[in-house]
Amino acid sequence: MSKPRIAFFDFASCEGCQLEAINFVEEFLVLLGHVDIVQFREAITEAEWDIDVSFVEGSITREQDIPRLKEIRENSKVVIALGACACTGGVNAIKNTRPLEDVRADVYGDKKDWFPTFPTRPIDQVVKVDGYIYGCPIDRNDFLKNVQLILQGKKTLRHNDPVCVECRLAEIECLLTLGKPCMGPITRGGCGAIDPSYGHPCTGCRGLVDDPNENAAMDVLAEHGLTVEDIRSYMTIFNSFRPEDIQ
Amino acid sequence: MKKNIDIHVHHVTRVEGHGDVLLNVKDGKVEHVALNIVEAPRFFEGMLRGRAHYEIREIVSRICGICACGHALASIRASEAALGVEPSEQVIDLRKIVLAGENLSSHFLHIFFLVAPDLFGVKSVLPLASTHRDIVVRALKLKKLGNDVSDVIVGRHVHPITMDIKGFTALPTVSALRDVQKQIIEMIPEVIDTVDLIASVADRIPDFKRETEYVSLGPIEGSNEYPFYDGIIKSSEGLTYYPAEYRKVTNEFITPDSTAKHCKHLRDSYMVGALARFNNNSDLLRPEAKAAAEKLGMIAPVHNPYMITVAQLIETVHIMYDTVDIIDKIIRRGILDEDYSYQPRAGTGSGAVEVPRGILFHHYTYDSKGRMENADCVIPTTQNLENIDQDFRKLAPMILDKPEEDISLLLQMLVRAYDPCISCSTHQLNVRFK
Ligand code: SF4
Ligand code: SF4
Ligand SMILES: [Fe+2]
């Protein structure tokens, strides 16, 4: 049986997720033995189509990205959204929370019209996506587990338990009780609660669980002395995208 | 013979982000040669407005996965200057290690994965995995070492977790610091071997010179430290500035025939990055790094931009030894439990930090509640773009008699030498003009 042909692509992103994917030595070399990497612009010059699995990083932020993403879809058997930018819009969607004209003017002043953009969207708003690897950045272990599943033709992990569950399992001191604005109660787990384990509140990078009770979470946070303004702001670092913004 | 050439390299590979190289030659005359940035813009400065002081570095580290910690540090320094917050000596030492790790990891990635394939005549590092497996394993190990060095302080290099304004949400243990120090010491011979390896293929580095202005941090008065974290702005033309005066140097401008904001100071363009730092501060390198420079035939000032990679390698030697010493200093002092709380206030401040690709500026204004009123970031690659174009304009006419394939390769190698961080710079640049 021939090796599966995999490829990496990126749109608006920091490329941190691709870097995380090559950041572990042994696993990467083992992976190289099992797959053929046919496109990976950051690391290799060759480029071939006819792909089994495409990992797509980044958000879609302008018209000209759409045909490129569609071309990737047409040439790939499986398309996986890699990281928060691709899965949920990530930090790129913050710009959707303010009038686009203002955002462009802040950066480019009177030359703003030279820089076309439209509201940020995750890739599944443009093409069909077969699986998601969450996080900003992706979690290494979660990535490896998912790659195994994908190569076996299975579904990626949905992670519908909030970060709090992993926190409790690891007996990490709850940051809410310390008055920090932690998004753990409504955020998709799967990262091992890495931020709280370092005394840092969860910023919600893996996206919200399927049925987040945002109001209840707001109440919990407010009980711990945070203002609604603070909480709203914190909640929109990674979770600004709303489908109605692109209607 | 009068030649016509039309080169359009779509999405140059082995660079970070999307850029195109264009060369049009008509009747043996170069009509147009440029690096065009085609990456999608991300509008970071626009995203920061109205946000709370403690959210800022969280967001800006996402500008770039390679210099995540550098952005976080420039951000924290700008915030501290604006909010009137002073970090402790322990915090500064720990931050220096974070930055050291990032510079190591990025330099090794660039040297081995992005540039070495050109020197060995292959298209990527992957074929080397079967022909030169030892080199590939070394490359991965060194790159990972850089990450581990940052990880021990910030939890995760992409993107840092613990590092905040004034301090950290968690401190490393002495034993974790000792472990990573041991790893560094063990890997020093591998770096020295790399110096020998690159010295052995140095004749394959293109020979091209164009003197330009070199801008980097310079030592603060009374210090003899090769500056990465702390310093004043220094130009090779003999001028210095405080970080808050960065706009006097960067002078960002937009030209109608270019796709990006560009910068210039006293000449048509200036260079930032490892070679600029080496040219401005090589007397401050540690003896081990000076010895490496000698082996590699590098005597400042070096005017060949293809040598940026070599300057990076010299810096890695310096950083490895230096980090061992900083860790010793921290361990001698013992890890101190400090109070990292602070009160926000209104104010304006700048931060300047040397990240892998050169000097990075963040500049913020906060209101009295500590919410962002205005943010400006000037990224190293933005500062280098005009310099790359000026190099192109000198280089292209000199190589027109070569086969098209070679011309294209030489231009792409020049772009790669600068190690441009395009996703980093496109928070503000993009677009093609017709
Ligand atoms: S999800 Fe985060 S780490 Fe990954 S590419 Fe986007 S900004 Fe970078
Ligand atoms: S703890 Fe929260 S912010 Fe941190 S990685 Fe997990 S989901 Fe993301
Ligand atoms: Fe960068």
| Mean of all residue pLDDT scores within chain A | 87
Facing residue for A61 by CB, picked from B40, B65, B68:
B40
How far apart, in whole angstroms, are the C-alpha atoms of residue B244 and residue B266? 18
Nearest CA in chain A to B257: A114
Shortest Cα distance, chain A CAs vs residue B111, angstroms: 12
Which tokens is B304 given? 């060949």
Domain residue ranges in chain B: 44-426
Overall average pLDDT of the B324-334 stretch: 98
Overall average pLDDT of the A198-215 stretch: 90
The residues of chain A that CATH labels 3.40.50.700 are 5-151
CA dihedral B97, B372, B62, B277 (to 10 degrees): -50
> In terms of pLDDT, which residue wins out, A235 or A224?
A235
State if residue A206 touches ligand 2 by the CB under 6 angstroms criterion.
yes
Overall average pLDDT of the B325-338 stretch: 98
* Residue B431 pLDDT level (bands cut at 50, 70, 90): very low
Q: What does the pLDDT read at residue B429?
A: 30
Minimum mean pLDDT range among A93-97, B253-257, B391-395: B253-257
* Residue B425 pLDDT level (bands cut at 50, 70, 90): low
- Closest ligand to C-alpha of residue B47 is 1
- Closest ligand to C-alpha of residue A88 is 1
DSSP for B231-294 reads -EEEETTS-EE-GGGTHHHH--EE-TTSSSEE--SSSS-EE-SHHHHHHHHGGGS-HHHHHHHH
Give the pLDDT confidence of B34-45 residue by residue, as tens digits: 888 777 777 777
Sequence-separated (6 or more) residues with CB below 8 Å from residue B118:
B409, B413, B416
Facing residue for B431 by CB, picked from A14, A115, A194:
A115
Q: Is the pLDDT of residue A112 over 90?
A: no
Look at B423 and A13 and tell me if their CB atoms are within 8 Å: yes
Q: What does the pLDDT read at residue B73?
A: 98
| pLDDT > 90 in chain B, percent | 74
Nearest CA in chain B to A64: B40
Overall average pLDDT of the B153-159 stretch: 95
What is the end-to-end Cα distance of chain B in Å, rounded?
30
Minimum mean pLDDT range among A116-120, B54-58, B308-312, B360-364: A116-120
Look at A95 and B254 and tell me if their CB atoms are within 8 Å: no
Minimum mean pLDDT range among A107-111, A198-202, B349-353: A107-111
How far apart, in whole angstroms, are the C-alpha atoms of residue B364 and residue B342? 17
Minimum mean pLDDT range among A32-36, A113-117, B244-248: A113-117
Record the pTM: 0.94
> In terms of pLDDT, which residue wins out, A118 or B363?
B363
How far apart, in whole angstroms, are the C-alpha atoms of residue A242 and residue A224? 27
Shortest Cα distance, chain A CAs vs residue B294, angstroms: 30
Look at A37 and B126 and tell me if their CB atoms are within 8 Å: yes
Kindly tell me the burial class for residue B188, based on how many C-beta atoms sit within 10 Å of its own C-beta (0-12, 13-18, 19 or more): middle
Q: Is the pLDDT of residue B1 over 80?
A: no
Which residues form the pocket of ligand 1, taking CB atoms under 6 Å from any ligand atom? Answer: A 13-17, 57, 83-85, 90-91, 136-137; B 62, 65, 158
State if residue A127 touches ligand 2 by the CB under 6 angstroms criterion.
no
How far apart, in whole angstroms, are the C-alpha atoms of residue A239 and residue B10? 33
Look at A200 and B162 and tell me if their CB atoms are within 8 Å: yes
Q: What does the pLDDT read at residue B121?
A: 83
Minimum mean pLDDT range among A62-66, A138-142, B8-12, B167-171: B8-12
Cβ contacts (< 8 Å) between B11 and chain A: which residues? 41
Of A78, A79, A108, the closest CA to residue A11 belongs to A79
Q: What does the pLDDT read at residue A194?
A: 97
How far apart, in whole angstroms, are the C-alpha atoms of residue B354 and residue B282? 15
E strand residue ranges, A83-218: 131-133
Overall average pLDDT of the B398-407 stretch: 94
Gap from CA of A196 to ligand 2 centroid (Å): 8
Compute the count of residue pairs across chains A and B with CB atoms less than 8 Å apart.
Answer: 168
Q: What is the DSSP letter of B119?
A: H
Q: What does the pLDDT read at residue B364?
A: 95
Gap from CA of A192 to ligand 2 centroid (Å): 8
Overall average pLDDT of the A58-66 stretch: 92
Minimum mean pLDDT range among A163-177, A218-232, B1-15: A218-232
State if residue A237 touches ligand 2 by the CB under 6 angstroms criterion.
no
Gap from CA of A163 to ligand 1 centroid (Å): 19
Q: Is the pLDDT of residue A77 over 80?
A: yes
List B363's β-bridge partners, or say none.
Answer: B350, B376
Look at A136 and B159 and tell me if their CB atoms are within 8 Å: yes
Nearest CA in chain A to B153: A198
| Mean of all residue pLDDT scores within chain B | 91
Of B377, B392, B117, the closest CA to residue A107 belongs to B377
Q: What does the pLDDT read at residue A193?
A: 97
Shortest Cα distance, chain B CAs vs residue A184, angstroms: 15
State if residue A221 touches ligand 2 by the CB under 6 angstroms criterion.
no
Look at A95 and B428 and tell me if their CB atoms are within 8 Å: no
Which tokens is A17 given? 């997720």
3-class DSSP assignment, residue B201: coil
CB B354 within 8 A of CB B89: no
Q: What is the DSSP letter of B15?
A: S
CB B301 within 8 A of CB B236: yes
* Residue A206 pLDDT level (bands cut at 50, 70, 90): very high
Of A193, A212, A151, A194, the closest CA to residue A4 belongs to A151
* Residue A44 pLDDT level (bands cut at 50, 70, 90): low
CB B395 within 8 A of CB B414: yes
- Closest ligand to C-alpha of residue B360 is 3
Gap from CA of B61 to ligand 1 centroid (Å): 10
Of B93, B328, B348, the closest CA to residue B229 belongs to B93
Sequence-separated (6 or more) residues with CB below 8 Å from residue B283:
none
CB B81 within 8 A of CB B349: yes
Gap from CA of B72 to ligand 2 centroid (Å): 17
State if residue A186 touches ligand 2 by the CB under 6 angstroms criterion.
no
Q: Is the pLDDT of residue B254 over 50?
A: yes
Facing residue for A103 by CB, picked from B46, B68, B431:
B46
State if residue A88 touches ligand 2 by the CB under 6 angstroms criterion.
no
How far apart, in whole angstroms, are the C-alpha atoms of residue B81 and residue A170? 37
Nearest CA in chain A to B420: A42
Q: What are phi and psi of B361, to 5 degrees?
A: -115, 135
> In terms of pLDDT, which residue wins out, A215 or B324?
B324
Overall average pLDDT of the B278-302 stretch: 98
* Residue B256 pLDDT level (bands cut at 50, 70, 90): low
Q: Fold for domain B44-426?
A: Cytochrome-c3 Hydrogenase; chain B (1.10.645)
Q: What does the pLDDT read at residue A111?
A: 64
B365 in A contact zone (CB under 8 Å): no
Q: What does the pLDDT read at residue B430?
A: 27
Q: Which B residues 244-303 touch A at CB under 8 Å? A: 254
List B348's β-bridge partners, or say none.
Answer: B365
Q: Is the pLDDT of residue A21 over 90?
A: no
Minimum mean pLDDT range among A63-67, A208-212, B14-18, B27-31: B14-18
Look at B62 and A90 and tell me if their CB atoms are within 8 Å: yes
Facing residue for A43 by CB, picked from B59, B62, B124:
B124
H helices present in B109-173, as ranges: 116-119, 125-131, 133-154
How far apart, in whole angstroms, are the C-alpha atoms of residue B97 and residue B104? 10
How far apart, in whole angstroms, are the C-alpha atoms of residue B112 and residue B143? 9
ipTM for the predicted complex = 0.92
E strand residue ranges, B3-46: 5-9, 19-26, 29-37
How far apart, in whole angstroms, are the C-alpha atoms of residue A61 and residue A89? 9
B58 in A contact zone (CB under 8 Å): yes
Q: Is A231 left (phi over 0), alpha (psi -120 to 50) or beta?
A: alpha
Cβ contacts (< 8 Å) between A136 and chain B: which residues? 62, 159
How far apart, in whole angstroms, are the C-alpha atoms of residue B35 and residue B420? 11
The H helix count followed by the E strand count for chain A is 10, 5
HSE (side-chain half, CA atoms, 13 Å) at B377? 34
Atom of ligand 1 nearest to the CA of A17: 4
3-class DSSP assignment, residue B363: strand
H or E element, residue A77 = strand A76-82
Q: Is the pLDDT of residue A33 over 50?
A: yes
How far apart, in whole angstroms, are the C-alpha atoms of residue B119 and residue B128? 12
H or E element, residue B318 = helix B308-333
Facing residue for A95 by CB, picked from B18, B46, B424:
B46
How far apart, in whole angstroms, are the C-alpha atoms of residue B174 and residue A246? 51
Look at B169 and A91 and tell me if their CB atoms are within 8 Å: no
Of B37, B70, B65, B45, the closest CA to residue B355 belongs to B70
Which tokens is B22 given? 């264009």
Q: What is the CATH number of domain A5-151?
A: 3.40.50.700
Q: What does the pLDDT read at residue A116?
A: 67
Residues with CB under 5 Å of ion ligand 3 are B 64, 66-67, 421, 424
Atom of ligand 1 nearest to the CA of A138: 4
Residue type, B235: S
Distances (CA, A) of B92 to B88, B175, B235: 6, 20, 25
Look at B43 and A14 and tell me if their CB atoms are within 8 Å: no
